[in-house]
Chain A
Amino acid sequence: METLMAILIGCLFASGIYLMLRRSIVKLAIGLVLLSQSANLLIFTAAGLTRGNPPLVSAGESMPPLPYADPLPQALVLTAIVIGFGVLAFTLVLVKRVYQTVGTDDLDEMRSTDGFKD
């Protein structure tokens, strides 16, 4: 399972980066989504994929019944998803405004601020 996840995450990272290297800003935004999703999956996988009981301690016990799944990575992923969603919303609005203002979705035409020429 871990191997499969590793391959999946690798593919997601690769396609995210490929999309970001394209010239269109819409593809840039999609690439960012893929990148943040693959990072989420990476947390999930690296922290250990355990098929187990919910980590609830029943009355009178001091530990949840083994094997139990670690809840922390899930909490981390959840937080990261929410943050990623907020950032994505902003990015989409920005992409739209850029398209409206500059009149193109080609990143190569957006060089006026790069600072390597006067």
Chain B
Amino acid sequence: MSHDLLVALPIVIPLATGVIALLFYDSRDSQRVISVIGSAALLLAGIALLMTARADGILVTEMGGWPPPFGINFVADLFSSLMVLMTGLIAFTVSVYSLATMDPRRESFGYYPLFHILLMGITGSFLTGDMFNLFVWFEVMLISSFVLIALGGERPQLEGAIKYVALNLISSAILLGAIGLLYGLAGTLNMADLGMKLQDVDEPWLVTTVGMLFLVSFGIKAAVFPMFFWLPASYHTPPIAVTALIAALLSKVGIYALVRAFTLIFTQETSYTHQILLVVAGLTMITGVLGAVAQYEVRKLLSFHIISQIGYMLVGLAILSPLALAGSIFYIIHNMVTKTNLFLISGVAFRLQGTYELKKLGSLYRYHPWVSSLFFVSAMALAGMPPFSGFFAKLTLVRGSLELEHYAIVAVALLTSLLTLFSMTKIWTEGYWTPSPAEEEGKLPPGVDEFPGWTRNMVAMFLPIIILASLSVGMGILAQPVISLLVETAEQLLDPSLYIESVIGDEP
């Protein structure tokens, strides 16, 4: 397959799926089939892209045949391909899970088309090599996520949506302004060209100022401290499949953009910019986890954990060593897998007992030991216990930081990790181990005989959970090949000349 096609496929597949699903607007059943096929195809395209990018180096395609920096080009280096692959994985698992959990009303009002257009915005952001194009993909992604959050029109959804929309539009306005200033400074918006032209400017502080605008804008999208307040106010309001999807993917797009911008473009005054990133990372970790510890609603609790884990993802970027950056990327991948899984399992618990409140949940371990063990695996992975994926992600990150003697951030990371373990144990004891309020009164808890046998609905509900749980075990047991791939990825990111050369070529 030609490289051009391979790089374009992750954008074309969701677009085609969304459009075809829209053509079958009246038929819910066809939309469900189309959606699963489309997301499976995206997953396969992601695998093919990563394998080719690893074998052949950075893949570049020029849209419309205009050579960079004049035309818009799409670039798939290892990091982009990895993120596209993860998007495909999350898309596939969540679309299967949606079959069992999405209510018919939302399904017939365009849930599946929106789902795939959102995916298109996300893969587009991961692959584009042009700053303004990145803004456009962000907007594609945002508008579909706005509708997905508000779809259904329940009061909490609308209240969450208004905050989500307002904060994200502010971030877009800042991004737009920053892009304008960047164009005024450099006269180009192609990322590779920017990376080349801004390396030896006369006034690096001017570039750094614009870089800070990008930091604020991407930081709002990634929900870093102190700009995360929209996230716990909105993420838990839509149905659990939507929550799992946006929790896994949207803030990671912000992180991706930060990593791309601060490894390729804004590397003039790293002692200043990356010091800020390090402080922000530490504060994000600790505030996120403290917020989580105080919560008793499973979805809100998990939303706060997203924030604290965003902090871990920033540490590697702030330290800028191959090992630490590899740890951060490991963290992104691990977090996408486990966090999605935790949301999906809490959806199962909701199906059983009809609540997300920890104080009302209970007895799940006694009556549903298998559901509980799947939760246990993901929760321990999130808290970073060996042998699951989270442990090795943390180990790589901590080792990378220790090598460069960043002791303070390591202390914060380990403290956060301890608090994460505490709040995961809280869910485990309150929700799964202690008897539910009904059982304490001598009655059977609700949902005891909810899962009588392997019906089609059951398969659609548990297949994604089992896939994700085995991945988080697998990434822990086979950590060596994963880490070597990620170190390769990080080294590619830390050597911008590779990226620039493969886009611009050797000619001046």
Residues of A participating in the B interface, judged by any CB pair closer than 8 Å: 20, 25, 28, 32, 35-36, 38-40, 42-48, 72-73, 76, 79-80, 83, 86-87, 90-91, 94-95, 97-98, 101-102, 107, 110-116, 118
Pick the interface stretch among B173-181, B267-275, B405-413, B444-452: B173-181
Contact B159 A36 (CB under 8 A): no
Specify which chain A residues have a CB less than 8 angstroms from the CB of B296 in the assembled complex: 118
Q: Is there a chain A Cβ closer than 8 Å to B61's Cβ? A: no
Q: A46-B184, A113-B160 are in contact. Are A101 and B153 (CB under 8 A)?
A: yes
- How many residues on B have C-beta within 8 angstroms of the other chain's C-beta atoms? 47
Q: Please pick, from B158, B177, B303, the residue contacting A97 in the complex, using a CB distance under 8 A.
A: B158
* Structural contact, A79 and B132, CB atoms closer than 8 A: yes
Task: State the CA gap A63–B260 with chains docked (Å).
Answer: 34
Contacts of B260-319 to chain A: CB distance below 8 A:
291, 294-297, 300, 303-304
In contact, B176 and A94 (Cβ under 8 angstroms)? no
Q: Which listed residue, A42, A101, A115, touches B155 by the CB 8 Å rule? A: A101
Query: In the complex, are the beta carbons of B180 and A20 less than 8 A apart?
Result: no
Nearest CB of B to A78, in Å: 12
Give Cα A35–Cα B174 distance, bound, in whole angstroms: 9
- Min CB distance A3 to B, Å, is 15
A38 to B143, CA, bound (A): 21
Distance (whole angstroms) from the CB of B243 to the closest CB of chain A:
12
Are B158 and A36 neighbours in the complex by a CB distance under 8 Å? no
Q: Roughly how many angstroms separate A111 CA and B296 CA in the complex, as a whole number?
A: 17
Say how far B416's CB is from chain A's closest CB, in angstroms.
19
Name the contact of B143 in the complex, choosing from A39, A90, A114 (C-beta under 8 A): A90
Contact A101 to B158, CB < 8 A, known contacts A91-B165, A94-B165, A115-B300: yes
Complex interface: chain A residues within 8 A of B150 (CB): 94, 97
Residues of B within 8 A of A114 (CB): 229, 232-233
Query: What are the 3 closest A-B residue pairs judged by CB atoms, nearest first?
Result: A43-B180, A46-B184, A39-B176
Given contacts A87-B139, A87-B143, contact A32 B158 (CB under 8 A): no
CB neighbours of B160 from chain A (8 A) = 113
27 CB-based A-B contacts, threshold 8 Å = A35-B169, A36-B176, A38-B173, A40-B176, A47-B180, A48-B184, A72-B183, A73-B180, A73-B183, A76-B132, A76-B183, A80-B135, A83-B136, A90-B143, A94-B161, A94-B162, A94-B165, A101-B154, A102-B155, A110-B162, A110-B163, A114-B233, A115-B232, A115-B233, A115-B303, A115-B304, A118-B297
**Which residues of B approach A to under 8 Å, CB–CB?**
132, 135-136, 139, 142-143, 146-147, 150, 153-156, 158-163, 165-166, 169-170, 172-174, 176-177, 179-181, 183-184, 229, 232-234, 236-237, 291, 294-297, 300, 303-304
Minimum C-beta distance from A13 to chain B (A)? 8
- With CB as the reference atom, state the residue of chain B lying closest to A43: B180
> Nearest A residue to B156 by beta-carbon distance?
A113
Give the distance in Å from the alpha carbon of A45 to the alpha carbon of B156 in the complex.
Answer: 41
Contact present for A97 and B147 (CB under 8 Å): no
Determine how close the nearest CB of chain A comes to the CB of B246; give it in whole angstroms. 15
Q: How far is the CA of A48 from the CA of B162 in the complex (A)?
A: 35
Find chain B residues with CB under 8 A from A80 CB. 135, 176
Asked whether A83 lies within 8 Å of B159 as measured between CB atoms, the reply is no
- Determine whether the beta carbon of A112 is less than 8 Å from that of B181: no
For the complex formed, measure the closest distance between the CB of A30 and the CB atoms of chain B, giving whole angstroms. 12
Check if B233 sits within 8 Å of A76, measured CB to CB.
no
**Is there contact, CB below 8 Å, between A76 and B179?**
yes
Cα A39 to Cα B172 in complex, Å, equals 9
